[in-house]
């Protein structure tokens, strides 16, 4: 399971390790790894033009020492000194190897640009001349390689508050930084390469983690010889309306494909007819009054996709949330609880699956602020509301109070189409009904949903129903992952 850490956690581990090593050892380890990645990207090092953007901190020193190594292999290395001070030993080593100090105009001629402007301790918008140099690097033709974290990206949160370097590759030292895994920062990091500099035993518990296929394989339930449809989990789905019949069809489809032993669907006449026609496997209950007594016993509920927000829907939501089983709330269900947060006062677990706009309504925040700091707001919502949060979007974040946040590494931009969230609700709900906790159901559901989206799209547009159809293939992929 890849793990990531805040800047303070990394600095603490570095200080503990440096106390046991000769001075400069960590910087030389970092520079060696950085130079190796740069050489690999260049292919042929001799005669290639490399520009180092050098700030005042240790990242600037890493860049200078890496530049020295490339210069000794025949590269033409120019250093643009942007900071108020420069790592003297690193600059001397570069000059002794044949490197030069240059003006910013060298950036446009470079085959490769090394961003060593600011390090992991930087916060807020880049100041001049760093902001201008970041923009010039972005506009240049050369491959951009960031040292540790792209300048302008907050290493601890992924915030980007102004101009930032957009790297093709980020070479990060010792451990992943949280800001490299969470958007918007992740979008600036490109391909992240981890260099082992020996921090391992000095690192604390992680700030953020990302599930792998093996992690999901070990978590998802599998039927045994004694299994029957009831032991495999019965999921109730309260979704759909006369206006949004498809939401019910997609949520039930995600649940059935996600391994639930039985799906009990409850809804009004129009969506009931659609679910019956599309999914004869589901047990369907036509609701006149917003009551669930006739539905039968379930192990978990999915509440909200396409349900509507009228009084009838509110009463149905209240009945579902009054049960003693886990409930996943999505879409219109989130609108209902945003207007009446008393609905969330329950002893049983709750998993919410909002996008940024829905979360904004729930916690009375601005959508743009949530997009700029997804991790921070997902954690805030989990603590404030007492629920598990699966925040959908460019980076899917799972947050639960007292546990490391999880980010999802699967998915594809093709999933940004109507109805895919309904499939995710059904899939994660099925995992809840099969006994997973909200935290595990959310993280496994997001992983499988993203993988199903990739398999369904295969580089082309998809429809939400395609994602549901691809869920079994996604499950096969992770269950066959090597040990």
State yes or no: 356 annotated in a binding site: no
d(CA 441, CA 421): 15
Q: What's residue 386's pLDDT?
A: 96
Cα 448 versus chain centre, distance: 14
Is the bond preceding residue 349 a cis peptide, omega within 30 degrees? no
State yes or no: 395 annotated in a binding site: yes
User: In tens digits, what is the pLDDT along the chain, a chain of 483 residues?
Assistant: 889 999 999 999 999 999 999 999 999 999 999 999 999 999 999 999 999 999 999 999 999 999 999 999 999 999 999 989 999 999 999 999 999 999 999 999 999 999 999 999 888 999 999 999 999 999 999 999 999 999 999 999 999 999 999 999 999 999 999 999 999 999 999 999 999 999 999 999 999 999 999 999 999 988 777 666 777 899 999 999 999 999 999 999 999 999 999 999 999 999 999 999 999 999 999 999 999 999 999 999 999 999 999 999 999 999 999 999 999 999 999 999 999 999 999 999 999 999 999 999 999 999 999 999 999 999 999 999 999 999 999 889 999 999 999 999 898 999 999 999 999 999 999 999 999 999 999 999 999 999 999 999 988 999 999 999 999 999 999 998 765
d(CA 213, CA 395): 17
The residues, ordered by sequence, that sit 6+ positions from 352 with a Cβ below 8 Å of its Cβ are: 328, 329, 330, 334, 337, 362, 381, 385, 387, 388, 389, 390
State yes or no: 245 annotated in a binding site: no
* Backbone CA torsion sign across 82, 104, 185, 2: negative
State yes or no: 148 annotated in a binding site: yes
State yes or no: 355 annotated in a binding site: yes
State yes or no: 254 annotated in a binding site: no
Domain with CATH 3.40.50.10260 in the chain: 3-208
State yes or no: 412 annotated in a binding site: no
State yes or no: 120 annotated in a binding site: yes
State yes or no: 417 annotated in a binding site: no
State yes or no: 71 annotated in a binding site: no
State yes or no: 62 annotated in a binding site: yes
The CATH H-level superfamily of 213-479 is Ribokinase (3.40.1190.20)
State yes or no: 418 annotated in a binding site: no
d(CA 228, CA 344): 32
State yes or no: 121 annotated in a binding site: yes
Q: Are strands 388-391 and 397-399 parallel, antiparallel or unpaired?
A: antiparallel
Nearest to 234 by CA among 302, 141, 300: 300
State yes or no: 177 annotated in a binding site: no
d(CA 295, CA 326): 16
State yes or no: 115 annotated in a binding site: yes
Residue found under tokens 């793990």: 3
Report domain 3-208's class. alpha beta
State yes or no: 122 annotated in a binding site: yes
Domain with CATH 3.40.1190.20 in the chain: 213-479
DSSP-assigned letter for residue 281:
T
Q: What's residue 132's pLDDT?
A: 97
Query: Is the separation of the CB atoms in 95 and 68 below 8 Å?
Result: no
d(CA 177, CA 189): 11
Q: What's residue 73's pLDDT?
A: 97
Query: Is the separation of the CB atoms in 426 and 250 below 8 Å?
Result: yes
Q: What's residue 229's pLDDT?
A: 74
State yes or no: 408 annotated in a binding site: no
Q: What's residue 227's pLDDT?
A: 66
Complete DSSP assignment for 121-162: T--SSPPTTHHHHHHHHHHSSSEEEEESS-TTB-TTT--B-S
Alpha-helical (H) ranges within 174-294 are 185-189, 213-219, 245-257, 269-278
State yes or no: 58 annotated in a binding site: yes
């Amino acid at each position: 399971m890849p793990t990531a850490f805040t800047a303070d956690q990394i600095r603490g581990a570095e200080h503990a390790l440096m106390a046991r090593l000769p001075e400069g050892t960590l910087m030389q380890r970092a520079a060696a790894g950085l130079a190796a990645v740069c050489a690999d990207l260049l292919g042929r090092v001799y005669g290639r033009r490399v520009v180092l953007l050098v700030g005042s901190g240790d990242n600037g020193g890493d860049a200078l020492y890496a530049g020295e190594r490339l210069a000794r292999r025949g590269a033409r290395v120019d250093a643009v000194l942007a900071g108020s001070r420069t790592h003297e030993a690193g600059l001397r080593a570069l000059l002794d190897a044949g490197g030069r100090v240059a003006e910013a105009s060298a950036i446009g001629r470079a085959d490769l640009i090394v961003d060593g402007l600011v390090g992991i301790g930087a916060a807020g918008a880049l100041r001049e001349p760093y902001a201008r140099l970041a923009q010039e690097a972005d506009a240049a033709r050369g491959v951009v390689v960031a040292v540790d974290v792209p300048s302008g990206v907050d290493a601890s949160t992924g915030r980007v508050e102004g101009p930032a370097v957009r790297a093709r590759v980020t070479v990060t030292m010792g451990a992943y930084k949280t800001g490299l895994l969470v958007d918007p920062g992740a979008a600036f990091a490109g391909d992240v390469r981890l260099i082992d500099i020996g921090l391992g035993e000095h690192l604390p518990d992680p700030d953020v983690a990302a599930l792998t296929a093996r992690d999901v394989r070990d978590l998802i339930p599998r039927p045994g010889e004694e299994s029957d449809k009831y032991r495999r989990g019965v999921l109730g789905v309260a979704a759909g309306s006369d206006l949004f019949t498809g939401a019910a069809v997609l949520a039930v489809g995600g649940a059935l494909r996600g391994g639930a032993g039985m799906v009990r669907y409850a809804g009004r006449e129009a969506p009931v007819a659609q679910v019956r026609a599309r999914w004869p496997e589901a047990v369907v209950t036509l609701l006149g009054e917003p009551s669930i007594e006739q539905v039968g016993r379930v192990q978990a509920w999915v509440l909200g996709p396409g349900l509507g927000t009228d009084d009838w829907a509110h009463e149905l939501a209240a009945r579902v949330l009054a049960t003693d089983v886990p409930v996943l709330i999505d879409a219109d269900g989130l609108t209902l609880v945003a207007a009446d947060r008393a609905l969330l006062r329950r002893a049983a677990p709750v998993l919410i699956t909002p996008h940024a706009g829905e979360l904004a309504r729930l916690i009375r925040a601005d959508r743009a602020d949530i997009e700029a700091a997804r991790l921070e707001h997902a954690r805030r919502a989990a603590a404030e509301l007492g629920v598990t949060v699966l925040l959908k979007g460019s980076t899917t974040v799972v947050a639960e109070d007292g546990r490391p946040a999880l980010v999802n590494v699967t998915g594809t931009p093709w999933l940004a189409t109507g109805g895919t969230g309904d499939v995710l609700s059904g899939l994660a709900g099925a995992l809840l009904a099969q006994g997973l906790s909200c935290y595990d159901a959310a993280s496994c559901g997001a992983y499988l949903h993203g993988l199903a989206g990739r398999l369904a799209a295969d580089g082309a547009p998809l429809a939400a129903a395609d994602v549901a159809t691809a869920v079994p293939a996604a499950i096969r992929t992770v269950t066959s992952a090597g040990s």
